[in-house]
Structure 1
Amino acid sequence: MVSTAPYGAWQSPIDAELAASHDSRPQAVGAVGDELWWVASRPAEQGRSTLVRRRADGSEASALAAPWNVRNRVFEYGGRPWAAVARETGGPLVVFTHFADQRLYAFEPDAPAGPAPRALTPLSPVGGGLRWADMVLRPELGEVWGVLEEFTGDAPSDVRRVIAAVPLDGSAAGDRGAIRELTDDRHRFVTGPRLAPDGRQVAWLAWDHPRMPWEGTELKTARVTDDGRFEGARTLMGGPAESVAQVEWAADGTLIAATDRSGWWNLHRVDSATGTSVNLCPREEEFAGPLWAPGLSWFAPLPSGLIAVVHGKGAAVLGILDPETGELVDAAGPWTEWAPTLTVSGTRAVGVAASPRSAYEVVELDTCTGRARAVAAPHTDRVDPAYYPEPQIRTFTGPDGREIHAHIYPPHSPDHTAPADELPPYVVWAHGGPTSRMPLVLSLEIAYFTSRGFGVAEVNYGGSTGYGRAYRERLREQWGTVDVEDCAAVAEALAAEGTADRARLAIRGGSAGGWTAASSLAATGLYACATIRYPVVDLLTWAKGGTHDFESHYLESLIGPFAEVPDRYRDRSPAQRAGQVCAPFLLLQGLDDPICPPEQSERFLEAVAGRGVPHAYLTFEGEGHGFRRTDSLVRSLQAELSLYAQTFKVSAPGIPVLELKG
């Protein structure tokens, strides 16, 4: 029976524990012979990541028991953490990075003595140590090649990155000198090597401060000698105003690159001798995305010459491209969003996909039959799907008539309806990055709120990816302005059309989204409250070395060159505008966050102190930039719900009451 109850006070079977257990997805999928391997998060196991193995017979199991944690801190966001090769005898050889010490380890899961990993690289007492990502195995040389991030001092900026070779026999486990560097360190950032089929050429990407990889990168190539050295390294394409997001070799030795030289990341065939290129499928769509970590993969050439590619405008779907004709055929099936992790094996293309009705799962496309099916980590409905939100894809009009893309999730429950004269509260979700976007996929975190009578509006504000370079660059020197205006425009529009209650609007975001949430409180007066998660709030501290190396110059484009516009760094910072904050807020912070350290949040709290603004500050021991552990996820969701319940004057039975201090 459907009962009538105020919005926000509905009872729901989707509790915080269920939403937290759903907060993971397969990552870094790869084909190892006839097997599939991928990384899976384990929130209930202190947030560790494990390698999962799916054998050819369909059986599936974790390949590494606790405490092994398959993750690294390259760029601090972590790059692809494993590589493997199939062998004729003895089973696969696997190399991975272990989060606790950042060392490379090798193990043979089918070895008679058991899969005891053995260290390949040494510990370093300097700064952040030695870190590894985006590896490729070279068993014929007895080596594994990958990105080496090496700290030379204690400061976040005391770091160098090169492509390096590590012996597989373990001789470098205690000897840094046994690691062979394949490139020099003239570039601040590099990705892992991509080898031509004959092993005679190698390609990789490189870039330097102050550029971010979605602003400008260089595609580098070199010859590979018989003894595994790089010779004649040169830049083939790219530059300060061209972002090459991924490079791969096709089976016939053709070089394929995703570059945005047309204003959109499209696939190009590149002449490895001259650098001239041909757009294989000219479209105003993205065939790649922002390279936040080395090893992301939006496309993968098949042995047949076809190319599996994730593409789209906004949403990203899987298609098969014929590079000779430019014909692109999309995979059939319910999946509307594919993650940037693709692999191929024979005629199969395998990735990770989801939809508004299903969570991320490992999906295989047979390019011969056109059949796509979930083959591993399949989505299961742990609650009646009738409680899932029903999203709407919408485009709003912002200042100066600009388009703003958003996903709207109205309150939804099969058990409840609200009084006819009541409008629902809405929470605007601002994504992180800010060079990123919100995917349209099933999220039980969203359902946690919508099934209780709260609406959610995900805003892909100006600066978001998926809509071309011009949309991405709307945020250039406008961070804290365009994002705030776009979120406010969506909230105002929902209120004006009678979808949302103007008096009960909230905003939430994490990282860069936390900046937008805090900035919105200080600038708009529109929101009744905010949830601010591990945020950026003090640009002056950030610009003076208060963050990690990867994003340490990001503000040059988001705000402007500090030497030229220092006042802008002060004037836009929420920490400097705390006097304008009068709405309640919840601040959530991981205590081990190297990207947005606790000092940022604490500075904001100091600025708010004594002003009578109700707020709560929750910290999480052992959590970094984003929460991984079940207890952290549960506690943060319940606190957020309590904030909204108190602010909007609705009941939240069974939820611990968040203590707000003025």
Structure 2
Amino acid sequence: MTRTAPHGTWQSSIDARSVAEVDGRPGWVSQYGGELWWTEPRPTEGGRLALLRGTGDVVLPPPWNVRSRVHEYGGRAYVIAPAPGGAGPAVVFSEFSDQRLYRYEPEAGERPEPLTPEPDRPAGLRYVEPVTAPDGHEIWCIREELTGPEPTDVRRCVVAVPLDGSGATKPEAVRELVADTHFLSCPRPSPDGSWLSWIGWNHPAMPWDSTLLRVARVRADGSVGEPVTVAGGAGQAIVQAEWESDGALLYAADPVGWWNLHRVELDADGHPAGAPVNLCPREEEFGGPLWQLGMQWFTPLGGGRVAVIHGRAATRLSILDTAGSRGELAAVEPESGVGFTEWAPTLAPSIAGVAGSDEEPYRVVAVDPDTLVATDVTRPRTPPGVADGHLPRAQARTFSGPGGRDIHAIVSPPRNDEFTGPSGELAPYVVFAHGGPTSRVPMVADLEVAYFTSRGIGVVEVNYGGSTGHGREYRERLRENWGVVDVEDCVAVARALADEGTADPQRLAIRGGSAGGWTAAAALTFTDVFACGVIQYPILDLVGWRTGETHDFESQYLESLVGPWPAVEQRYRERSPMTFPERVSAPFLLMQGLEDEICPPVQAERFVAAVAGRGVPHAYLTFDGEQHGFRKAETIVAALEAELSLYARVFGFEPADDLPPLSLHT
């Protein structure tokens, strides 16, 4: 029987511990010897990234953590290669604690052995996106070297690491192959081993702005010759490239404003033999923002067939036939249940990937290449005891923003089949602002959202202007307008929900992390729409962030998001919440990882000090051992319970949960 109770007070089967148990998604799927391998976050094991195989067998026990720190966002941190002795496969992986590459042979059961030298400074040499060299005796990968005291003192190159372990004690055994542009990604030897391709770019471009696709001859001695640029340039973002054959490369690029799949044929000297061909011209994305190195939106299958992830906002997996009718796509469908609404950017050529839907979270799936039917390899990771009737039903919606521009969002109304709100009481709503900001929110079931909706609090996730999935024009709405368009769009969606009678206009909140934390803080500073906000590991001071208070990868990101520094320095100051602490009047909760190199604690500390004594209720929570984003179960639990406590205090309800007290200071 359904009970009537105020929104926010509903009893839910989804507690913070349930959310923490399954936080994150599987990733980095690969295939070796007919067996699938992938990574999976383990919040209850210190937040490590575990490596699994087969039907879910754990390959490396705790505390081994298969995670790279290149660019601080990392990427694909392992590869499966033939063991030097020939007894089964060898896993070569980047270990998070020291960032060295290690070799581990699961069948031998021995302790992982280092392949790279111990750096002079902790985690001073980092490795990512490893591939097996043509001769099978080396691993080729991107290496990032910290060369000085400043965050921007960084050098990157493609290196060859011996599989026999000699590089662990003899640094000279690790050979440098390519030292090219400041940023490098996607090193790929050709099938016959005679060529190496890679993607590169330089400051101030980000990888979704302008990149180059380059190739070079691999000489007989294993060295690499002079590079040739075969595609890309100003205003073109190549985000992935793979060899289709010894003389042809496939790549995802956006010369016409959408990431489409292209082919370029090469002559005997590695130069383009003709103009690149768009293999499937569509106003859809066949790529995405390269936040982590090794992301894959397509994989060649042979015979002119390519598995491609594509779509607008939502994505699907299809098989593209490049040998037959140009642009013909055959869709992959699930074996049973609801259709997929999102495929994560990771694919194995077997065909396998990671998919989810608006009703089920991400899981590893395998696709029959003949029937194109996808079967679950792992089941969705929903903890026991979570009631189906407590899960939200998300709705994709488009709202109207300033000037009539479209704003895409995902609305998840309160849902709990055991409760309903009192007649006439509108639900409180929380606007989720995603990070990036060059990113987006996928429409995939998320227990973090359900934590709130099952208690009677609505959630709307806004893919504000600047988000990906809708072409270059949509994502470039944010160019020099960060802190303006993102805030306006979040405000417009919140007001629209209130105007239509869905949300209580007096009980609106905004929350976000990283770039989303910036948007939340800016909204609280420069608008009066939100009754409170939750700000996680944010950017708060644009001047500080542009002048050394972040890592190398994003150190010039603001050139496009805000404008050229120092020419528009005043704009940096005028948009920063740090400049106007006196304008913040709504209660807020600020949370920060103390090991964050991307958004260091120094900005949060300055902001809290500036707000103190001004009469605004606020709390500042810090977490040891957390970097950019919370990974440990105990942190996730503490953060969610503190957030719910803030909403209860501000929105005026008594939660059914027994929550730790949240002390608000003024």
TM range (shorter): over 0.9
Stretches of 4+ aligned residues off by more than 4 angstroms: 86-89, 377-381
Hey, what's the Cα distance between the residues in 2 that align with 1:380 and 1:563? 49
Hey, what's the Cα distance between the residues in 2 that align with 1:407 and 1:378? 21
Q: Could you tell me which of 449, 457, 460 is aligned with 2:460?
A: 457
Q: Is the 8 A contact 2:186 2:240 kept in 1?
A: no
Return the offset for 1:381.
Answer: 6.2
Return the offset for 1:268.
Answer: 0.4
Deviations, residues 232-284 of structure 1 (Å, cap 9, x unaligned):
31111111211001000125642100000010000001122343201000000
Return the offset for 1:124.
Answer: 1.5
Q: Is 2:338 the partner of 1:338?
A: no
Matches within 5 A, 1:225-244: 225-244=219-238
Hey, what's the Cα distance between the residues in 1 that align with 2:98 and 2:379? 28
Matches within 5 A, 1:398-547: 398-547=401-550
What is residue 368 of structure 2 aligned with on the other side? 366
Deviations, residues 614-652 of structure 1 (Å, cap 9, x unaligned):
000000000000000000000000000000000000001
2:427 match: secondary structure: coil
Letter of the structure 2 residue corresponding to residue 66 of structure 1: P
Q: Is 2:62 the partner of 1:66?
A: yes
What is residue 138 of structure 2 aligned with on the other side? 143
Letter of the structure 1 residue corresponding to residue 61 of structure 2: A
Return the offset for 1:187.
Answer: 1.1
Hey, what's the Cα distance between the residues in 2 that align with 1:342 and 1:335? 15
Q: Is 2:102 the partner of 1:101?
A: no
Hey, what's the Cα distance between the residues in 2 that align with 1:655 and 1:441? 28
Letter of the structure 1 residue corresponding to residue 223 of structure 2: R
Hey, what's the Cα distance between the residues in 2 that align with 1:81 and 1:431? 25
| TM-score computed with the length of structure 2 as normaliser | 0.96
What is residue 619 of structure 2 aligned with on the other side? 616
Deviations, residues 451-507 of structure 1 (Å, cap 9, x unaligned):
000000000000000000000100000000000000000000000000100000000
Q: Is 2:575 the partner of 1:581?
A: no
Letter of the structure 1 residue corresponding to residue 91 of structure 2: V
Q: Is 2:199 the partner of 1:199?
A: no
Letter of the structure 2 residue corresponding to residue 217 of structure 1: T
Deviations, residues 355-383 of structure 1 (Å, cap 9, x unaligned):
11111110111121222111135445631
Q: Is the 8 A contact 1:201 1:221 kept in 2?
A: yes
1:231 match: secondary structure: coil
Q: Is the 8 A contact 2:616 2:665 kept in 1?
A: yes
Matches within 5 A, 1:145-164: 145-164=140-159
What is residue 551 of structure 2 aligned with on the other side? 548
Return the offset for 1:137.
Answer: 1.4
Deviations, residues 79-106 of structure 1 (Å, cap 9, x unaligned):
2100112579511121000000000001
Hey, what's the Cα distance between the residues in 2 that align with 1:535 and 1:24? 20
Q: Is the 8 A contact 1:126 1:153 kept in 2?
A: no
What is residue 52 of structure 1 aligned with on the other side? 52
Letter of the structure 1 residue corresponding to residue 71 of structure 2: F
Hey, what's the Cα distance between the residues in 1 that align with 2:458 and 2:368? 39
Q: Could you tell me which of 200, 213, 216 is aligned with 2:210?
A: 216
Return the offset for 1:33.
Answer: 1.6
Return the offset for 1:192.
Answer: 3.6
2:494 match: secondary structure: helix
What is residue 41 of structure 2 aligned with on the other side? 41
Q: Is the 8 A contact 1:71 1:78 kept in 2?
A: yes
Q: Is 2:104 the partner of 1:110?
A: no
Q: Could you tell me which of 366, 376, 379 is aligned with 2:378?
A: 376
Q: Is 2:665 the partner of 1:658?
A: no
Q: Is 2:296 the partner of 1:301?
A: no
Letter of the structure 2 residue corresponding to residue 110 of structure 1: E
Hey, what's the Cα distance between the residues in 2 that align with 1:231 and 1:248? 19
Return the offset for 1:227.
Answer: 2.4
Hey, what's the Cα distance between the residues in 2 that align with 1:526 and 1:168? 58
Q: Is 2:77 the partner of 1:81?
A: yes
Letter of the structure 1 residue corresponding to residue 330 of structure 2: V
Return the offset for 1:302.
Answer: 0.3
Q: Is the 8 A contact 1:163 1:192 kept in 2?
A: no
Range moving further from structure 2, 329-338 or 640-649: 329-338
2:231 match: secondary structure: strand
Q: Is 2:585 the partner of 1:567?
A: no
| TM-score computed with the length of structure 1 as normaliser | 0.97
Letter of the structure 2 residue corresponding to residue 342 of structure 1: L
2:393 match: secondary structure: coil
Deviations, residues 576-612 of structure 1 (Å, cap 9, x unaligned):
1211100000001000000000001011111111100
Task: Please list every run of 5 or more consecutive structure 2 residues that lacks an aligned counterpart in the other structure.
Answer: none
Letter of the structure 1 residue corresponding to residue 281 of structure 2: P
Task: Please list every run of 5 or more consecutive structure 1 residues that lacks an aligned counterpart in the other structure.
Answer: none
Letter of the structure 2 residue corresponding to residue 68 of structure 1: W
Q: Is the 8 A contact 1:127 1:153 kept in 2?
A: no
CA pair 139-278 structure 1, distance change in 2 beyond 3 A: closer
Return the offset for 1:127.
Answer: 7.0
Letter of the structure 2 residue corresponding to residue 44 of structure 1: T
Q: Is the 8 A contact 2:99 2:123 kept in 1?
A: no
2:591 match: secondary structure: strand
2:168 match: secondary structure: coil
Return the offset for 1:171.
Answer: 1.3
Return the offset for 1:657.
Answer: 2.4
CA pair 245-661 structure 1, distance change in 2 beyond 3 A: same
Q: Is the 8 A contact 1:218 1:238 kept in 2?
A: yes
Return the offset for 1:419.
Answer: 1.0
CA pair 141-381 structure 1, distance change in 2 beyond 3 A: closer
1:636 match: secondary structure: helix
Hey, what's the Cα distance between the residues in 2 that align with 1:641 and 1:203? 49
Letter of the structure 2 residue corresponding to residue 286 of structure 1: E
CA pair 559-225 structure 1, distance change in 2 beyond 3 A: same
Q: Is 2:129 the partner of 1:131?
A: no
Hey, what's the Cα distance between the residues in 2 that align with 1:645 and 1:476? 37
Q: Is the 8 A contact 1:127 1:152 kept in 2?
A: no
Return the offset for 1:24.
Answer: 2.1
The Cα RMSD (Å) is 1.3
Q: Is the 8 A contact 1:33 1:86 kept in 2?
A: no
Range moving further from structure 2, 390-399 or 247-256: 247-256
Letter of the structure 2 residue corresponding to residue 328 of structure 1: L
Q: Is 2:387 the partner of 1:387?
A: no
What is residue 18 of structure 1 aligned with on the other side? 18
Return the offset for 1:305.
Answer: 2.4
Hey, what's the Cα distance between the residues in 1 that align with 2:478 and 2:99? 34
